[in-house]
Structure 1
């Protein structure tokens, strides 16, 4: 309201100046018109060239002054409209002034201007706080969006890891099953191998017994006890000789039986 009052006084003074200027220009126009009419009396004068030039200059000045008058009148109208607008604003805000004058005794301020300045500072502080709050809310929203994006990314990564974990668990179960199968096979192989070792030992002992029964000697004076090939060869030769002896014996029996039949016949 104080600023509007100062602006109103400035416009009022400028308007008075414009009115005074308009009066001066109108007076100059009248003087130029009088000079113009007096110029007719000297129209036939031989030395009127300078006077004509002067009148022409005055005529141009008159035209310029008329244009200036039109411009100033336009400005005057604009200033009048501005004056009315300022008066309406003063009347509009005068209500607040009355309210502040009534409130002033209940405050610690000296006058209305100081109270208005304090209110203006409070409003400015409120605007700054609102702007700061808006910035904080925007930052909070941005942080929430960033946090939500991180949560979504973490959730997606967790799903991927769970999927990989399920695949690895399936592979582990399969590997354990295969491991148990292989362990069973290995146990069977070890058990079979142990049986085979026992059987092989028994066979070797049997071969040694057969070898000794064929007349072979085992030990330092004969064949090594672990040299089964030589022992088997000796047994094979012995079996072959024995087989030949049995065949010869059988043939001799057949011949004797044949001779007996012939003698009976």
Structure 2
């Protein structure tokens, strides 16, 4: 799971410790450079050589510092990769553990199913031993029956008859239920119609009472109507006589006055009376003069 560690110069020191050590050496070099700078007046050539040596040492230290930084980066990358691989390994182990649990549960379920199957097999075997005598009986029946050639034909016929019997029983039960329902509907209908008849009888009694009252009122109104008709006939006869007398009087007055009569309608009794009233005094005066 772990990759190869990066190469290091000192296995007993950590990269951070080595970096601090190198920085300390660089500080010492800087101090030495400062001291050498103060003493450069002593020997210019020697100072130059030392400066070059120190410069080379400084460059070497910088190179080593860069290498240490690279080593630190590689080490950090190594740690991250190692953590990632570790996490994947843990996840894989967890998944395998969960899968194992699932398999164990499946095994337990299969064992339980197997146990049930064994028990059912024992029950079926017991039933088979219990019903073996029926098989022997059917074999004897088959030997004496010409209609059947195999036991399954007898069983098929039995199943057919049983199904037919069940259908007939179910149909009979259905018919009984229908009869009961129709009987109940008939009783309900009869009760409703009896109630309707009672209600109609009550209504008929009320209507008969109203009819008797109406007939009684009709007799009274018939008597009144006959009286009105008789009265109207008398008044009509009287009116006819009045109109005839008025017309005769109107003709008599017009004949003596020698006026036109066609300007008054023969049926306009009112106008005739007005003319007679206006002309009658004059007619009476003439009648007195001549008679």
Same topology, TM > 0.5: no
TM-score in terms of structure 1 length: 0.39
TM-score in terms of structure 2 length: 0.36
